Every structure is written in C-alpha cells, then in structure tokens.
Structure 1
Amino acid sequence: MRRTFLTVTGLVVQLVLIVGLILKFSNITDFELPQNDQKTVSFSQGGNELEGTLIMASTDGPVVLLVHGDGAQDRWSDSGYLPLVNTLLDAGISVFSWDKPGVGASTGNWLHQSMQDRADETLAAVAALRQVSGFEQRRIGLVGFSQAGWVLPRASAQTDDVSFLVIMGGAINWQAQGRYYAAIRLEQEGKTPTEIVVELTRQAAAHRVWFGGDTTYEEYIGAERAIGQSEDRILSEDRFHFARLNFREDARRNIAGLTLPVLVLSGAEDLNTDPQETVSVYRSLLDGVHPLSQFHIVPVATHALLSANRYNYQLPDQWPLATQARFVLSGRNAFEGDVLETLTDWIANVSKGAS
C-alpha cells in the first residue's frame, strides 16, 4: 500500500512539474489584458448603441481601431484577438475595439448592415475616440480583418481623420470571394474538379437569382430544399438578406481613391480569400501612390496570418481541441514568421512619418 501511495504521489508531482514548465514557457499570458489602462468607450450609429474598450499603451503614440470580419464578434473576438492586441500594446500602440451590433454590450443586428453601414459605424468609432482626453490629435489607423477589406477603403474615402490602413486577409469582390471559398470547401469534401465546376456554375446562377434579384426568402428555401440541399447549408433569413445587401460589393473603386499609406497582409495558404487576387489588385491600383504602402503575401500563413502548418481551417469552430490548446499556449507565436513584427514596425514607421 505504501509503495502504491508513493508511486501515485510521484506521478502527481511529475504532472505538476510538467504543467508548471508548460505554463512557464508558454505564452498563455498573451490572453490577459492590462486592466488599469482600459477605458470603456460608447457611441451611437444607425440606431444602435455600441460599446467597446480602449487600451492605452502610451501617452502620445498611435492608436488603431480593430474592425471585425464576418460573424457575431465581440470586441476581442472571443479572446482570439488578444495575442495580437498585446503585441500592439507592447509596441506602444494603443488599441480600440467594440462589440458588433447585437453582440456583447452593443444593441442592433450586425446581419442588417451593408458595408456602407459598417463604414459609417467605423467612422462613428473614430469620432468617439477623438472625444477621449489625450486622443484628440493622435494618429489613428484602421486594422481590418477579412470582410473589413470592403469596409476600410470605403470608410477612409469619407474622412481625413485616418492616417493609415492595415488589411489582413481581405477580399476584393464579394461574388469572387464566395466562389473561392466554395471551391476550397468542395475540394476538401473530396469533389472532383469536374464536380466542383458544375457546382460552382449552379451556385453562381442561383445566387444571381436569390441575391441579385427580388425573390422572397420563402422562394429561396423552397428551391434549395427542392434540390436536396442540407438544412445546415440553407441560410437563415437574416443571413439571406445580409448576402443580398452586399452581393455586389467590389472594393476596387474605393481602393483606387486611397492616398494614405496601406499595408496589405494576405496568407499564401488562405482558404477563405484569394491572396493572389487581393495583393495584385492593391499593387496595380496603389503602387507608387504612397511611398510607405506595402503589399505582402505571407508564406505558409492562413487567412488570419497564423501558421498554416498548424491552424489552417476555414472556420475556427473546425479547430480540433488539440489545436485550440496549442493556440492558447502559443499566443503570439501562433502567427506565422515575423508577420507581427512586420505589422508593428510598419505602424511605428508610418506614425513617425518616415520615408
């Protein structure tokens, strides 16, 4: 009995030591934020009452507003933003982010928004930030993810109060992005190239009817069920009207009007948006416009600029438990290569007005 007790005790001690070493050498603290430097900022836009958090990293450095991608995201995207946020704070860059309409402390429904609505909301956030003591004259930048690629160029065309833009995993054309996403998904499901072409052609024709026309949601549901579409692939009514609101979005015209510095970061292994199209469009429209603009395809990086060797899934809810645990322990090290250093160095360079 005593030997058994000692054996169990030894195993417990070893387990505690292993856990302690993992925590000591992990970046789990990247998911903790400095509480004493936070300020709640509220503002109104489009009939919605919105709330966010400003974290102050310095007394006079730049500040970035985080503009969400698709989905029901709270201000820190269910903690997923925190390694990035802490990296920005460590570089002396203050951060402001808010809950999307209908999420967290914000009222409304984000699925009722067009990209123009989202741009107006972003500008209202900029105006609210200007009312905070100490931020009246600071350089403000917009950092946007995925769907924000349609929001940021549109918002910056309406103000002179934004100093720079960062597009991470952005797309150019709504319909082209949908085709790219669907093609990747079909390929992962094991469809042949011929089957993929047939299905994409069917989808394109159907989408022109449902989202480019004036048919009803009930007609859409009936037609999808008639072809045997699974219920999990049929859009909710809110998502259906959201797609209709934004079906014709294309960022080219707004990109072409940009004169401020722009940093584009697209992952080479992006499964959601076409990195080649995004970077080539920005280069063709903005090359030579501002000397500080940069357009990068990051090798071995995902849609979110994480390491594609470990985190390459189309949706976060596809991550296995082991991948989630790895992300929590890795923190900022989950990002591919020196992408975060590229980001913070570029913001610091732009904020100093360096050439």
Structure 2
Amino acid sequence: MRRLTLAAIGLAVLVVIGSVIILAFSRIADFELSQGERQTVSFSQGGNALEGTLITASEDGPVVLLVHGDGPQDRWSGSGYLPLVNTLLDEGISVFSWDKPGVGASTGNWLHQSMQDRADETVAALKALRRMPGYEHRRIGLLGFSQAGWVLPRVPARTDDAAFLVLMGGAIDWQDQGRYYATMRLTREGRTPEEIAAEISRQAAASRAWFESDATYQEYFSAERAAGRSAEQVLSEDRFGFARLNHNEDARSDIAGLPLPVLVLSGAEDLNADPQETVSTYRSIREGGHPLSRFRVVPDATHSLFSARWYNYQRPDQWPLTAQARFVLSGRNAYQGDVLETVTDWIVAASQDMP
C-alpha cells in the first residue's frame, strides 16, 4: 500500500512538473488582449448601430481594420483573432475590429447583407476612425479573411481612406468557391470521382433554380425536403436570402481597379477556397501594378493560414478537442511558417511613403 501511495505521489508530481513545463513554453498569453490603449468606437451604416474596439499600439504607426469572413463573428472572432492581433500590436500596428450586424453589441442581421453592403460598412468604419483625434492622417489599411475577398477590393473605389489591403484565404468567384468547397468536402468523405461530379452538377442546377429565379423560400424548402434532405441540410430562410443576394459575386472587376498595394496569402492546403485560383487571378490582373503588391501560396497552410498538419478542417466546429487545446497552447505559433512575420513586415513597408 505504501509503495502504491508513493508511486501515485510520484506520478502526480511528474504530471504537475509536466504541466508547468508545458505552460511555461505555451503561448496562452496570446489570447489576452494587449495592454495598449483601448477605445470603444461606434458608428452606423445601413440602419445598423455598430460597435468595435480600437487598440492603439503607437502614436503614428500604421493601423489595420479587421474585415471578417463568413459567420456570426464578434469583433475578436470569439478570441480566435487575438494571437494575430497581439502580433500586430507588438510590431506597433494598431488594430480596430467591430461586431458584425446582429452580433455582440451591433444591431441588425449580417445575413441580410450583400457584399456591397459589407463594403459600405467597411467604408463607414474607416470614416469613423478618421474622425478620431490623432487618426486624421494615419496610414490605415484593411486586413480581411475569406469572404472579405469580395469586400476589400470594392473599398478603394469608394474612399481614399484606405492605404493598403491584406487578404488571407480569400476567394474570387462565389460559385467557383462553392464548387471547390463541396468537392473538398466530398473528397474527404471518401466519395468517388463519379459521385462527386454528379453531386456538383446537382448543386449547380439547384443554385440556378433557386438563386437565379423568383422562387420563394417556401418553394425551396418544400422541394428540398421532398428530395429527402433533412432539416439540417436545408438552408435557413436568412441563409437562403444571403445566398441569393451574393450568388453572382466575382471579384475580378474590382481587383482590376485597385490602386493600392495588396498582399494576398492563401494556404496551399486550403479546403474552402482554391488557393491557386486566388493567387493566379491576382497575379494575372495586378502583376506590374503597385510595386509593393505580393501574391503568395503558403505551403502546408490552411484556409486561415494555420499549420495544415494540425488544423486543416473546413469549419471551426469540426476541430477535435486535441486541435482546440493545441491552438490555445500554441497561440501565434499555430500560424504556418513565417506567415505572421510576412504580414507585419509587409504592413510596415506598405505604410511608409513611397519614394
């Protein structure tokens, strides 16, 4: 009994020591907001009252506005942005982000927005910062994720307040992105090429029938249920309307008119948006444009530019507990390779006056 007790105590001590070592080398602190000066910034657009937080890292350094991807995102995306935010702040880059309509302290419904509405909202956010003392002449840029690929390229045509754009994991064409996403999902489910082709064809026909017509939501819902799809597989009425609003989005014409330096990063293992299409499209349209622009596919990186070895899932709710725990312990180290260094160095360079 005494030996068992001593063994148990020894094991407990080893567990404690191991936990201390893990915590000592972890990046948990990356999920705590920096101690930089914080201000609540409120503005309105499209009948919505919107609220966000501005964290000032320096008096005259660059500023980035975070532009969300899809989903009901609050200003820090449920703390998921914080490792990136703290990295930016450490480099003297101030950060502003706001709750999407209907999320957190913002009113409205983000699913009622077109990509044009989102661009107008981003312009309103820029103007709100410009009205703040000390921000009248700061170099302010936009850093957007995923769905922001249809938002960021629209903004410079509507305001001179943006100085640069950073796009992480963006897409080009809404329908192409949908096909790519479905193909990756079906492939990971083990479907045959023939099954995948048939399902992609079915989805394309359904999209034309429901999103390019005057069909009602009830007609859509009844038809989908009659076809054997469960209630969980059928879009909600809000999501149906959102898809109809944005079904024909294609960023190419807006990309062609960009006068600003642009950094585009796509993960080579992206399961949501085709990285080769995104980077090659920007290169073909913008190559020879602004000398600071860069377009890069990052090896072994996910849609969010995390390490594909540990975090390659299509949706955050698919992450197993092991991936969630690893992310909390890894913080900014969850990003693949030199992604964060690339982003911060480029922003600093792009915010300086051109010779």
TM-score (norm 1): 0.98
Match of 2:117 in 1: 117
Match of 1:193 in 2: 193
Deviation track 1:291-310 (CA, whole Å, cap 9, x = no partner) reads: 00000000110000001111
Match of 1:78 in 2: 78
Match of 2:9 in 1: 9
Match of 2:226 in 1: 226
Matches within 5 A, 1:333-348: 333-348=333-348
Q: CA deviation at 1:11?
A: 2.9
Letter in 1 for 2:133: S
Give aligned pairs, total: 355
Matches within 5 A, 1:146-165: 146-165=146-165
Match of 1:284 in 2: 284
Q: Any idea what SS the aligned residue of 2:212 has?
A: coil
Q: CA deviation at 1:5?
A: 4.4
Stretch moving more, 236-245 or 8-17:
8-17
Q: CA deviation at 1:51?
A: 0.7
Letter in 1 for 2:140: I
Deviation track 1:79-131 (CA, whole Å, cap 9, x = no partner) reads: 11011001111111000000000101111100000001100110111111112
Task: Give percent identity, aligned residues only.
Answer: 72
Q: Is residue 2:48 matched to residue 1:48?
A: yes
Match of 2:236 in 1: 236
Q: Any idea what SS the aligned residue of 1:264 has?
A: strand
Q: Is residue 2:139 matched to residue 1:139?
A: yes
Hey, what's the Cα distance between the residues in 2 that align with 1:251 and 1:216?
A: 27
Hey, what's the Cα distance between the residues in 1 that align with 2:38 and 2:15?
A: 37
Deviation track 1:288-333 (CA, whole Å, cap 9, x = no partner) reads: 1100000000011000000111110000110000000001101111
Stretch moving more, 260-269 or 32-41:
32-41
Hey, what's the Cα distance between the residues in 2 that align with 1:191 and 1:228?
A: 19
Hey, what's the Cα distance between the residues in 2 that align with 1:77 and 1:195?
A: 35
Letter in 2 for 1:78: G
List structure 1 segments (4+ residues) > 6 angstroms apart after TM superposition: none
Hey, what's the Cα distance between the residues in 1 that align with 2:35 and 2:57?
A: 12
TM-score (norm 2): 0.98
Match of 2:321 in 1: 321
Letter in 2 for 1:328: V
Hey, what's the Cα distance between the residues in 2 that align with 1:38 and 1:6?
A: 51
Hey, what's the Cα distance between the residues in 2 that align with 1:313 and 1:270?
A: 9
Match of 1:250 in 2: 250
Q: Is residue 2:94 matched to residue 1:98?
A: no
Hey, what's the Cα distance between the residues in 2 that align with 1:227 and 1:188?
A: 24
Stretch moving more, 125-134 or 87-96:
125-134
Letter in 2 for 1:94: S
Q: CA deviation at 1:36?
A: 5.1
Mapped contact 2:36–2:57 kept (Cα < 8 A): no
Match of 1:274 in 2: 274
Hey, what's the Cα distance between the residues in 1 that align with 2:281 and 2:246?
A: 20
